[in-house]
């Protein structure tokens, strides 16, 4: 899961962003409506788009893209997949086991904890929430928790959502019923937990 976003676009391009998948198109319309409502209510909303491509110059559409939504008190990333099979192949997701995905999730949280803009003595826990938004999309939001319990958001990306998706799908295969939400946490003592719902 090493690839990073080769291309970035500012929030103005969200109005021109379209999807050939009806489920993704509905999400884009819903997000635009939510942003309009937030702005009408006086909320400061900053939107950024990051494309995930395979690097080929003749690619007609991205494999997937992240929509980063920042408001006065939150930082959320919506990961939208346009080419599911090609994306999984490009990121090497085929055949990843539950144990491997959980280890990747722990590593992602450890990296976020090390990069936290907080005094290590003040950092109590790093948490990640991931939730399905549709058949080809998911939401992720991360935050560090300090000693007095205050959250400090950090930016997430497609790596967080794809790792969470693998864990959710593996749990579904094991248990026979769907899971839609994952909450992962890593505390300052190295204790790692995952809750599914």
Across 4-20, average pLDDT: 59
Three-state secondary-structure class, residue 146: strand
Q: Would you say the pTM of this structure is higher than 0.85?
A: yes
Across 110-122, average pLDDT: 93
Choose among 185, 188, 191: nearest CA to 146.
188
Q: What is the rounded distance in angstroms from the CA atom of residue 118 to the CA atom of residue 42?
A: 29
Name, in order, each residue with C-beta under 8 angstroms of 36's C-beta and a sequence gap of 6 or more.
none
Reported as a pLDDT band with limits 50, 70 and 90, residue 7 is: very low
Give the model's pLDDT for residue 56: 83
Reported as a pLDDT band with limits 50, 70 and 90, residue 8 is: very low
Reported as a pLDDT band with limits 50, 70 and 90, residue 20 is: confident
Opening angle at CA 163, ends 191 and 82, nearest 5 = 160
- What rounded mean pLDDT belongs to the chain? 91
Strands 151-154 and 192-196: unpaired
């Amino acid at each position: 899961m090493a690839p990073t976003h080769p291309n970035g676009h500012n929030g103005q391009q969200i109005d021109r962003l379209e999807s050939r998948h009806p489920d993704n198109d509905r999400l884009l319309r819903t997000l635009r409506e939510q942003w309009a409502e937030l702005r009408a209510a006086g909320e400061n909303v900053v939107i950024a788009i990051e494309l995930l491509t395979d690097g080929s110059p003749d690619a007609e559409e991205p494999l997937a893209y992240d929509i980063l939504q920042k408001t006065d008190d939150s930082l959320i990333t919506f990961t939208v997949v346009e080419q599911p099979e090609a994306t999984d192949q490009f990121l090497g997701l085929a055949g990843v086991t539950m144990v491997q995905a959980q280890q990747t999730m722990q590593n992602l949280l450890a990296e976020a904890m090390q990069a936290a803009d907080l005094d290590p003595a003040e950092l109590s826990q790093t948490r990640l929430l991931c939730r399905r938004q549709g058949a080809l999309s998911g939401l992720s939001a991360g935050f560090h928790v300090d000693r007095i319990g205050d959250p400090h958001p950090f930016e997430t990306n497609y790596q967080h959502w794809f790792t969470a998706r693998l864990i959710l799908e593996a749990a579904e295969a094991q248990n026979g019923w769907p899971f839609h939400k994952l909450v992962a946490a890593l505390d300052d003592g190295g204790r790692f937990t995952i809750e599914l719902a």
